[in-house]
Amino acid sequence: MDRTASGWVNGFIGVVIFAGSLPATRAAVMDFDPVFLTCARATIAALLGLILLLALRQRRPMRTEIPSLTIVVLGVVIGFPLLTALALRQVSSAHSIVFVGLLPLCTAIFGVIRGSERPRPAFWLFSLLGSAFVAGYAARGGIETSLIGDLLMLAAIVVCGLGYAEGARLSRHLGDWQVISWALALALPVMLPLALFTRPTSLEHVSVSAWFGLAYVSLFSMLIGFIFWYRGLAQGGIAAVSQLQLLQPFFGLGLAASLLHETVSGSMLIATLGAVFCVAGAKQFAT
């Protein structure tokens, strides 16, 4: 398998893993404070990442790599988890998942800015069209649900796109799983004390589903998913492979309906199917 094809395979695995993030976060914030959830998931993942780094004797990041790692921390370790956890106090995971359809366009834009990639004009047409399906859904039936929730989700998408693009650029010479592991380690001195400070006074009320949600976002969303995702972006190109995220709402909606028993409307499905079509088109013109 050549490098580009391997990039698409790794990217697809990452998307499937990330698809469970918002339903799992929704389950967790039903019983956990959003700030605690953000800090706890980062702390757990950081400790696991540090074990890997030390066991495999990985080199420390160079001083010139610290600014990029800081961007990754602000984007995907703190920004996206916290903003989505706050948003999911306002809206359902099914509603928020559709906003993920904007993430490929955002990641591609930052890929051009930070990664010096230059997709063909037709790529942007399909990318914009995919985002339009999402925006159309939001304008048609989502905005009146919770303006605050929607604004939080949009902010989460922007910082996440930046974190994805920056991490993918850095992983080309630091390594894919090493990037997220070092980013988590960089955040640990702040996240661990905050997790202890914001921890629940009692755990008796915490449901099994909330514990499962915390475990999923800590292990899969915060660590394992990034191993495949950053590797895919680095191998196949940030702008190109990022379009696979248009498929993420499709998987996420299925999980929201099956696990959380949330309503998946026809407009959600139409927006998602339109996004799937755009992935196929964008792939043809990514380079």
Question: Which has more confidence, 90 or 278?
Answer: 90
- Number of structural domains found in the chain: 1
pLDDT over 90 for what percent of the chain?
39
Which pLDDT score, from 0 to 100, does residue 175 have? 84
* Contact status, residue 259 vs residue 23, Cβ threshold 8 Å: yes
Specify the higher pLDDT residue, 117 or 171: 171
Angle of helix 21-29 relative to helix 80-87, nearest 10 degrees, comes to 60
pTM for the model? 0.83
Lowest-confidence segment of 83-87, 96-100, 282-286 by average pLDDT: 282-286
Structure tokens at 196: 């202890």
DSSP 243: G
Contacts of 194 (CB under 8 A, 6+ apart): 35, 39
Helix (H) or strand (E) holding 257: helix 248-259
Confidence of residue 121 (pLDDT cuts 50, 70, 90): confident
CA distances from 151 to 60, 86, 247 (A): 37, 11, 22
Residue-averaged pLDDT of the chain: 83
Closest alpha carbon to 78 in 49, 105, 46, 106: 46
User: What pLDDT is attached to residue 187?
Assistant: 96
- Quote the domain boundaries for residue 238: 3-284
What is the band of 89 on the pLDDT scale with cuts at 50, 70, 90?
Answer: confident
2 Cβ neighbours under 8 A, 6+ residues apart: none
How far, in whole angstroms, is CA 199 from its chain's centroid? Answer: 24
**Percent of the chain clearing pLDDT 70 (strictly above):** 84
Q: Between residues 10 and 4, which one has the greater pLDDT?
A: 10
Nearest to 217 by CA among 48, 4, 12, 3: 48
Are the C-beta atoms of 73 and 186 separated by less than 8 Å? yes
pLDDT tens string 240-287: 788 787 777 777 777 767 766 666 667 666 776 776 677 666 666 656
Between the ranges 36-40, 97-101, 102-106, 236-240, where is the mean pLDDT highest? 36-40
Q: What is the Cα–Cα distance from 137 to 51, expressed in whole angstroms?
A: 43
Instruction: Give the pLDDT confidence score for residue 224 in this predicted structure.
Output: 93
Planar angle of CA 164, 169, 171, nearest 5 degrees = 90
Average confidence (pLDDT) over 64-93: 90
3-class secondary structure, 132: helix
Would you say residue 103 has pLDDT above 60?
yes
Question: Amino acid identity, residue 209?
Answer: S
Q: What is the pLDDT of residue 54?
A: 93
What per-residue confidence (pLDDT) applies to 246? 75
Choose the most confident range, by mean pLDDT, from 141-145, 166-170, 192-196. 192-196
pLDDT band (50, 70, 90) for residue 171? confident
Residues 195-250 pLDDT 10s: 999 998 888 889 999 999 999 999 999 999 999 999 998 888 887 788 787 777 77
- Token pair 């989700």 is found at 153
For the ranges 135-144, 185-194, 258-267, the lowest mean pLDDT is seen at 135-144
pLDDT of residue 138: 58
Residue, of 91 and 229, whose pLDDT is higher:
229
